[in-house]
Amino acid sequence: MLILTCPYCGVAADETELHPGGEAHLTREGPESDDAAFEGYLFHRKNPKGVHFERWRHSHGCGKWFHAARCTVTLEVFGSYAAQTTEPPQEIREILTARRPGWDQEAKA
């Protein structure tokens, strides 16, 4: 059972306090999008073996959505950050570069 720290209320929360929301940093495709782009947005999700960015909600706590950067293999958590962003913040990127050099290349692949 994971522990993730909610960046809003600062609580290191048990997984049972949280609700998972899948891959973070998706771009919403609206009515103008073509079929392929919309299909990708609606259905296609990364399932990396390694660094992953996920959405979580502190549903049995402050109720806020946040993002977490986590290794899906070792379950190491690199950090959690506010959901109001379209990409991982610089601080998280630096932690990842220090602990998992090359993570950004893998993320693109």
Partner 1 sequence: MSTRLAQGGRLIDRAKTLRFTFNGRQMKGYAGDTLAAALLAGDQMLVGRSFKYHRPRGILASGAEEPNALVGLGTGDRFEPNQRATVTELFEGLSAGSQNHWPSLEYDIGAINTKLARFLPAGFYYKTFMQPRAFWKHVYEPFIRRSAGLGKAPAAEARDPDDYEHYYAHVDLLVIGGGVAGLQAARIAGQAGRSVLLIEQGPVWGGRAPVDGGEIEGLPAEEWVDRTLEELTAMPNVRLRARTLGAGLYDHGYAIAQERVSDHAPGAQGPRHRLWRIRAERIVTATGAIERPLSFAGNDLPGVMLASAVRDYLVNYAVSPGDRTVVVTNNDDAYRTALALLDAGLSLPAIIDARPAGGGALMAEAEARGIRVLKGKGIAKATGGARITAVEVCAQAGEGACEETITCDALAMSGGWSPVVHLWSHVGGKLNWDESENFFRPDPQRGPVNHDGNAHVAVAGAANGHLGLSEILEDAGSAAARLFGSAVPEAPEASPRDEAPMAPVWLMPQGAKQALRAKAWLDFQNDVKVTDVQLAAQEGFTSVEHTKRYTTLGMATDQGKLSNINGLAVLSQALGEGIPQVGTTTFRPPYTPISLASIAGEAKGALFQPVRKTALHGWHEAHGATWEPVGHWRRPYAYPRPGESVEDAVNREVTAVREGLGLLDASTLGKILVKGPDAGRFMDMLYTNMMSSLKPGACRYGLMCSENGFLSDDGVVARLDEETFLCHTTTGGAERIHAHMEEWLQTEWWDWQVWVLNLTEQYTQIGVVGPKSRAVLEKLGGTDVSAEALPFMRWCDGEIGGLPVRIFRISFSGELSFELATPAHHGRELWDKLVAAGEEFGVTPYGTEAMHVLRAEKGFIMIGEETDGTVIPQDLGLNWAISKKKTDYIGKRAQARSFMDNPDRWQLVGLETLDGGVLPDGAYAVAPGKNDNGQVNTQGRVTSSYHSPTLGRGIAMALVHNGPERMGEVLEFAMTDGRRVPAKITGTVFFDPEGEKQNV
φ/ψ of 80, rounded to 5, equals: -125, 155
Are the C-beta atoms of 83 and 92 separated by less than 8 Å?
A: no
C-alpha–C-alpha distance, residues 77 and 26, integer Å: 20
* Segment lying near partner 1 (by CB under 8 A), choices 28-36, 44-52, 101-109: 28-36
Residues in 86-105 that interact with partner 1 by CB under 8 A: 99
Binding of residue 83 to partner 1 (CB under 8 A): yes
Secondary structure letter of residue 26 according to DSSP:
P
80: amino acid identity, one letter: S
Binding of residue 28 to partner 1 (CB under 8 A): yes
Binding of residue 40 to partner 1 (CB under 8 A): no
Cβ at position 83, least distance to partner 1 in Å: 5
Q: Among 7, 38, 40, 93, which residue sits at the site for partner 1 (rule: CB under 8 A)?
A: 38
108 in helix, strand or coil? helix
C-alpha–C-alpha distance, residues 27 and 44, integer Å: 12
Binding of residue 36 to partner 1 (CB under 8 A): no
List residues near partner 1 by CB under 8 A: 1-4, 14-15, 21, 28-31, 33, 35, 38, 42, 55, 57, 59, 63-65, 74-77, 83-84, 99
